[in-house]
Amino acid sequence: MSDMSSEHVAKIIDFLRNGRKAEDVSLEDVMRLAELMAESFQSFFKTMDLAIYTELGEMAREIANMKEELALLRLSDMRDEHIPTAGRELDAIVEATEEATNTIMSAAEEIMAADADDNDAYQALVGEKVIDIFQACSFQDITGQRISKVVSTLNALDKRITTLVEKLKIMRITDAAGEETASEKRARELMLHGPQFKGEGVSQDDIDAFF
Amino acid sequence: MALDTSIPVLVVDDYKTMIRIIRNLLKQLGFEDVDEAADGTEALGKMKERRYGLVISDWNMEPMTGYELLKQVRSDSSLSKTPFIMVTAESKTENVIAAKKAGVNNYIVKPFNAPTLKSKIEAVFGD
């Protein structure tokens, strides 16, 4: 170990001592540590074996390349900008559909409650409420555009995660079985599947036959 | 036999819009006495205070689901005979079987229309 410089050893010790707790360790930290180790051991093995020295040099370059490639993925953009924006778009969709539904239902309720005996007044009211309903339906255009933006974000996220998985060769690691969360347990026990896609759930006719 | 529309009906759903839709459909069918609850817990509380002639409940609600409400109602001797219709987007076979096993009187899959609601209410009351 005599050829491993004290400067390198100090760097590793500093890194490990520098308040790093398990939950604080990032991928960046691990890569930095690997880089430090590779650099440090290069000088140590240089005197012993040229092949190992070359291999360590390759490893250091590989890690540096990976860091550059990860930076190109701009994952922080997804976290800080694209995903929050998609969340706001979805909130706006919920709000717009709720508003439109309320407008349409109020118009329908007013028509239902109107006095049909007064023909002229009834016709005027129905005409006015039908226009309200048409106007409220314009939400579909705006929400359609918002949904397209969310879909674009999901596609970009999918692409970046796929690239990340490929770069990190995560597929080679066997997926650890995750623990079931409380909400997952509740959903399983209480059969909370949510709406099914067309043709996937049982039809009303099947249910009627069953009953 | 004509449908008795004077019975009090309890509609249980966590979506105000859905309650409003069901309330209006019931009104069209002649039911005027309609109460509402936002989940199973609130519904159970109301059912202990008042005897309802029909409960129409969603499945997926917090904190108590419609399925849990159904089981509670059926296990309570003072409430167990209350007609109970599940109106839900849960359309997996296991849901339908579980609800039937728990004693639901009928099961409607969302989205549904007025004739479907009417026919299921009629089926429950044997018309």
Check residue A2 and give its pLDDT: 43
For residue A78 the two structure tokens come to: 């997804």
CA separation for the pair A146, A87 (Å, rounded): 11
Averaged confidence pLDDT in chain B: 94
pLDDT(B35) > 90: yes
Give the pLDDT band (50/70/90) at residue A173: low
Task: Kindly list the residues from chain A whose CB atom is less than 8 angstroms away from the CB atom of residue B27.
Answer: 112
Instruction: Choose the closest CB to A207 out of B65, B68, B109.
Output: B109
pLDDT(A118) > 50: yes
CA distance B110 to chain A (A): 8
Check residue A63 and give its pLDDT: 80
Beta bridge partners of B56: B11, B85
For residues A97-120, give the mean pLDDT: 94
Averaged confidence pLDDT in chain A: 81
The DSSP result for chain B, as a single string, is ----TTS-EEEE-S-HHHHHHHHHHHHHHT---EEEESSHHHHHHHHHHS--SEEEE-SS-SSS-HHHHHHHHHHSTTTTTS-EEEEES---HHHHHHHHHHT-SEEEESS--HHHHHHHHHHHTT-
Of the ranges A29-38, A121-130, B60-69, B102-111, which one carries the lowest mean pLDDT score? A29-38
CA distance B79 to chain A (A): 22
| Domains contained in chain B, CATH given | 9-121 (3.40.50.2300)
Q: How many CA atoms lie within 13 A of B71 on its CB side?
A: 9
Q: Please report the sign of the dihedral spanned by the C-alpha atoms of residue A204, residue A205, residue A210, residue B5.
A: positive
Check residue A27 and give its pLDDT: 67
Check residue A57 and give its pLDDT: 79
CA angle centred on A176, ends A173 and A180, rounded to 5° = 155
For residue A44 the two structure tokens come to: 């140590």
**B interface mutation test: which of A190, A200, A205, A208 has the most B CBs within 10 A?**
A190
Of the ranges A167-181, B8-22, B58-72, which one carries the lowest mean pLDDT score? A167-181
Report A:140-199 residues touching B (Cβ under 8 A): 190-196
Check residue B31 and give its pLDDT: 94
pLDDT(A71) > 80: no
Task: Kindly list the residues from chain B whose CB atom is less than 8 angstroms away from the CB atom of residue A105.
Answer: 17, 20-21, 24
> Which helix H or strand E contains A135, and what residues bound it?
helix A119-136
CA separation for the pair B68, B59 (Å, rounded): 9
Of the ranges A9-13, A50-54, A201-205, which one carries the lowest mean pLDDT score? A9-13
ipTM: 0.86
Amino acid at A160: R
Does residue A29 belong to the interface with chain B, where contact is any CB pair within 8 Å? no
pLDDT(B88) > 60: yes
A194 contacts B89? CB cut-off 8 A? yes
CA separation for the pair A162, A143 (Å, rounded): 28
Give per-residue burial for B39-63: e unless 16+ CB within 10 Å, then b: bbbbbbebbeeeebbbbbbbbbbee
pLDDT tens digits, A13-69:
776 666 555 555 666 777 777 777 777 776 666 666 777 777 777 887 878 877 777
Q: Please report the sign of the dihedral spanned by the C-alpha atoms of residue B59, residue B65, residue B67, residue B73.
A: negative
Check residue A69 and give its pLDDT: 75
Number of helices followed by number of strands (H, E) in chain A? 9, 0
pLDDT tens digits, A141-160:
889 999 999 999 999 888 88
| Gap between the terminal Cα atoms of chain A | 80
Give the pLDDT band (50/70/90) at residue A5: low
Amino acid at B52: Y
Check residue A152 and give its pLDDT: 92
CA separation for the pair A104, A112 (Å, rounded): 12
Task: Kindly list the residues from chain B whose CB atom is less than 8 angstroms away from the CB atom of residue A109.
Answer: 24
Instruction: Choose the closest CB to A193 out of B90, B109, B116.
Output: B90
B93 contacts A195? CB cut-off 8 A? no
Closest residue, chain B, to A109 (C-alpha): B24
Q: Please report the sign of the dihedral spanned by the C-alpha atoms of residue B50, residue B55, residue B57, residue B63.
A: positive
Instruction: Identify which of A41-55, A130-144, B81-95 has the greatest average pLDDT.
Output: B81-95
Q: Map B32-45 to HEC letters.
A: CCEEEECCHHHHHH
B24 contacts A202? CB cut-off 8 A? no
